[in-house]
Amino acid sequence: MVDGFRPADLQEALEFRARHPSIPIAGGTDLMVQKARGFGLKPDFNKPLLFIGHLRKLRQISVRDGNIHIGAGVLLSELIINDKISEALKMAVRQMASPPSRNLATIGGNICNASPAGDTLPYLYAVDAKLILKSVSSERIIHIGKFITDPKQNTLEHDELLTEIIIPNKIFNVSYYKKVGQRKGMSLTKASFQGLADIKNSNVLDIRIAFGSVAPIIVRSREIEASIIGKPVSEINAAVPEILKKYATLIRPIDDARSSAAYRKRVSLRLLEDFLSKLS
């Protein structure tokens, strides 16, 4: 049976969530595909749907304490045109799906779907995004890396909703994003790469490196980043083979319909090499 509830506001949504087992649905662009049963048949939802895509509280983008707060229900198309959103995130979002899908799909849905191929994720991991998870009686804030635990698995409680994504206030003067797919538009990700760096006087003040689609969850290593931070760019240029070797041990892609593991690994390391070459 497909049943659903369309709350008037966030409070009503959380109250419903507290009382009934339910499936939140925002744009439905992941859910409707996952639960489809074929032409003419109702999708296979085993719990009532809780419609949240229209909730105004989830649709806001604001700056608070210098950090950017993005409502979980903000559409991908809205991210692209909002001047508070960094060019780095826009670069990733512009390559997602198609304009009609981006007018339905939300950033919260991309996060909660927890796919290692989710295209907003490498950026969100790289900037240490935090998530606000609310229930009727509680609110918790956790790092995105603590929220997503495995492919399609997250730590959302049965009575919670993801309400906001917090992007820390931090400027990077080198920003690099590449998505590798079958074609330029409407392409499923074979591998994706996010690089961010803060370079001053040819020294690396900060660097963030995140790989998508090459392991069960997004790959980021604070240890390797720390080994790069504080060094002159010339020294990093000389250390590129060693850095690639370190990341090669962390990149563990699979063979699937989209690509082979060997291709994914090779192309991911080439993207890293290309990013490191741009630091100077």
Ligand X SMILES: Cc1cc2nc3c(=O)[nH]c(=O)nc-3n(C[C@H](O)[C@H](O)[C@H](O)COP(=O)(O)OP(=O)(O)OC[C@H]3O[C@@H](n4cnc5c(N)ncnc54)[C@H](O)[C@@H]3O)c2cc1C
Q: Which residues are at the interface with ligand X (CB under 6 A)?
A: 23-31, 33, 52, 72, 96-97, 101, 104-106, 108-110, 112-113, 118-119, 156, 161-162
Residue, CB closest to ligand X: 109
Minimum gap (Å) between residue 179 Cβ and ligand X: 8
Q: Which is nearer to ligand X, 50 or 207 (CB)?
A: 50
Of 76, 155, 160, which is closest to residue 118 (Cα–Cα)?
Answer: 76
Rounded CA separation 146/169 (Å): 20
Q: Which is nearer to ligand X, 72 or 197 (CB)?
A: 72
- Which residues on neighbouring strands pair with residue 49, listed in sequence order? 4, 23
Residues in the chain: 280
Minimum gap (Å) between residue 97 Cβ and ligand X: 3
Minimum gap (Å) between residue 231 Cβ and ligand X: 33
Helices (H), the chain: 10-19, 31-34, 76-81, 87-94, 99-102, 107-113, 121-126, 144-147, 222-228, 233-238, 240-248, 261-277
Rounded CA separation 220/167 (Å): 17
Rounded CA separation 225/187 (Å): 30
- Which helix (H) or strand (E) segment holds residue 89: the answer is helix 87-94
Q: Which is nearer to ligand X, 175 or 189 (CB)?
A: 189
Helices (H), 172-232: 222-228
Q: Which is nearer to ligand X, 58 or 276 (CB)?
A: 58
Minimum gap (Å) between residue 156 Cβ and ligand X: 6
Residue in this structure with the two tokens 């939140």, named with its chain if needed: 24
Minimum gap (Å) between residue 126 Cβ and ligand X: 15
Which 3 state secondary structure label does DSSP give 177?
strand
Minimum gap (Å) between residue 98 Cβ and ligand X: 7
Q: Which is nearer to ligand X, 78 or 206 (CB)?
A: 78
